[in-house]
């Protein structure tokens, strides 16, 4: 009974830390974009969790963890009308549900940053709901719900692929269909920098996310009695630190100065990269994965902008999609049990690569259909005039920084 109580408290504490990551995502996105859209960004991050909590409780959790004969999608327990005894939980079902709910909200909110500053709010609510209800839970079932990838011994301990790659590939497709912000690309296709309005807020968001990740990864043990939580916390931190250091160093070499935004995103890249193998790799492996992720984030941002000509204001595709996939594959090399570098052969590496490709294919296909349908039926993008004025005014009738707005002062004669 005492063990159950400790495990329950640990899972709830971890869930609360992951919930606080919503504030981190909101701050990163707001800080890395322009002031005229800050209120809209806060609304999107708020509704990701509020709307997502209800939808995941009603539908998503059943698709993800319900009983399935096919290994593709769960089909029982809608509205939690089930005991889910087949999961074999050692904690109350409610504790497990709230823990999984905050993960689902994370996957949905990743998309917001890549599509920021030009998306209709009503359309955002639609795709956020569909991702939480169906697209994310199907992947979750494949890997965490006893589905076909789990049967191949695919390893994704805390969600480099389940959460982050799903969010990242959804962001890639959404931003591609939506199109770039006005002025992002010149007539010859060269990308133009559109600086965010508050790098300090963005940095605060990164620190909040780093803090929340200590719930994200160690919390995935689902047990406060499992002493591997200390090892997981260490690998998580080492990878984040290496990502930040290498992103700073590589940007310094590449651009002549240590870039602040890339360094911040480098920490996030390290966190995303280690999430799949955080319990499976040693400290050297964590450092290697984080360091490589810190370099990869910069190259991936350049590729998305300069080669694909896709406008991603916060680097969500590079951080979550690319580094999530990379970190998942790296488990096949660095896992101390079964990894190629530790004498385990290629079986695990093959399973990891197959899982990454399958999830990318599923997510890109379903989000292509979703975003095209939204664009056709209700419209995906705001008008040019609304984009120019800012979504705070056009979509919400307010200004995030009303006291700082430029106003005409009447002349006194």
The pLDDT score that the predictor gives to residue 409 is 52
- In angstroms, the CA 222 to CA 369 distance is 35
In this prediction, residue 405 has a pLDDT band, given cuts at 50, 70 and 90, of low
In this prediction, residue 385 has a pLDDT band, given cuts at 50, 70 and 90, of very high
- pLDDT over threshold 90, residue 74: yes
DSSP label at residue 106: H
- In angstroms, the CA 147 to CA 152 distance is 9
In this prediction, residue 407 has a pLDDT band, given cuts at 50, 70 and 90, of low
% of the chain surpassing 90 pLDDT: 96
- pLDDT over threshold 90, residue 251: yes
Alpha helices by DSSP H, listed for 69-197, are 93-114, 121-130, 136-143, 148-151, 166-178
Q: Stretch 164-168: mean pLDDT, rounded?
A: 98
Q: How many alpha carbons fall within 13 Å on the CB side of residue 246?
A: 24
| Cβ-Cβ contacts under 8 Å for 19 (sequence gap 6 or more) | 49, 102, 105
| Cβ-Cβ contacts under 8 Å for 289 (sequence gap 6 or more) | 239, 242, 270, 273, 274, 277, 281, 327, 330, 334
What is the distance of C-alpha 308 from the center of its chain? Answer: 21
- pLDDT over threshold 70, residue 406: no
The pLDDT score that the predictor gives to residue 331 is 98
- pLDDT over threshold 60, residue 92: yes
- pLDDT over threshold 60, residue 148: yes
Q: Stretch 140-148: mean pLDDT, rounded?
A: 98
**H or E element: which one contains 284?**
helix 283-302
In this prediction, residue 255 has a pLDDT band, given cuts at 50, 70 and 90, of very high
Encode pLDDT of 322-374 as tens digits.
Answer: 999 999 999 999 999 999 999 999 999 999 999 999 999 999 999 999 999 99
The pLDDT score that the predictor gives to residue 404 is 76
Tokens of 295: 């370099």
Q: Stretch 53-67: mean pLDDT, rounded?
A: 98
Encode pLDDT of 236-250 as tens digits.
Answer: 999 999 999 999 999
The pLDDT score that the predictor gives to residue 412 is 60
The pLDDT score that the predictor gives to residue 244 is 98
- pLDDT over threshold 90, residue 124: yes
The pLDDT score that the predictor gives to residue 88 is 96
- Work out the burial of residue 13: count CB atoms within 10 Å of its CB; fewer than 13 is exposed, 13-18 middle, 19 or more buried: middle
The pLDDT score that the predictor gives to residue 271 is 98
Encode pLDDT of 282-296 as tens digits.
Answer: 999 999 999 999 999
- pLDDT over threshold 80, residue 28: yes
In this prediction, residue 403 has a pLDDT band, given cuts at 50, 70 and 90, of confident
Tokens of 376: 């056709």
Residue 404 burial (CB count, 10 A): 9
């Amino acid at each position: 009974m005492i063990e159950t109580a400790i495990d329950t408290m640990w899972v709830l504490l971890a869930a609360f830390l992951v919930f606080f990551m919503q504030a981190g995502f909101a701050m990163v996105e707001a800080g890395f974009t322009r002031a005229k859209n800050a209120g809209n960004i806060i609304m999107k991050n708020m509704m990701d969790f509020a709307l997502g909590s209800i939808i995941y409780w009603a539908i998503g959790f059943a698709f993800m963890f319900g009983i399935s004969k096919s290994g593709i999608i769960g089909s029982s327990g809608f509205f939690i009308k089930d005991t889910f005894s087949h999961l074999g939980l050692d904690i109350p079902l409610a504790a497990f549900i709230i823990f999984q709910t905050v993960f689902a909200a994370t996957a949905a909110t990743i998309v917001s940053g890549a599509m920021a500053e030009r998306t209709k709010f009503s359309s955002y609510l639609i795709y956020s709901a569909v991702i939480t209800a169906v697209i994310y839970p199907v992947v979750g079932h494949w890997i965490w719900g006893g589905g076909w990838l789990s049967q191949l011994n695919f390893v994704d301990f805390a969600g480099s692929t389940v959460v982050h790659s799903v969010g990242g590939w959804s962001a890639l497709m959404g931003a591609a269909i939506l199109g770039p912000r006005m002025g992002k690309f010149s007539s010859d296709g060269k990308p133009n920098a559109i600086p965010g309005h508050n790098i300090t807020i963005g940095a605060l968001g990164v620190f909040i996310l780093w803090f929340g990740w200590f719930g994200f990864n160690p919390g995935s043990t689902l047990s406060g009695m499992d002493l591997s939580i200390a090892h997981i916390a260490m690998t998580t931190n080492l990878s984040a630190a290496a990502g930040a250091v290498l992103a700073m160093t590589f940007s310094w070499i590449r651009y002549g100065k240590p870039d602040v935004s890339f360094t911040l995103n480098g920490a996030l890249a390290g966190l995303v990269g280690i999430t799949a193998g955080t319990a499976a790799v040693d400290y050297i492996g964590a450092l290697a994965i984080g360091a490589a992720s810190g370099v990869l984030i910069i190259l991936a941002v350049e590729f998305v902008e300069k080669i694909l000509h896709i406008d991603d204001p916060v680097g969500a595709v590079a951080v979550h999609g690319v580094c999530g996939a990379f970190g998942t594959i790296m488990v096949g090399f660095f896992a101390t049990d079964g990894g190629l570098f530790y004498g385990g052969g290629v079986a695990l590496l093959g399973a990891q690569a197959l899982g990454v490709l399958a999830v990318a294919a599923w997510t890109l296909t379903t989000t292509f259909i979703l975003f095209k349908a939204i664009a056709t039926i209700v419209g995906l993008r705001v008008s040019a005039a609304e984009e120019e004025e800012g979504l705070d005014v056009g979509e919400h009738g307010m200004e995030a920084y009303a006291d700082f707005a430029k106003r005409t002062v009447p002349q006194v004669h």
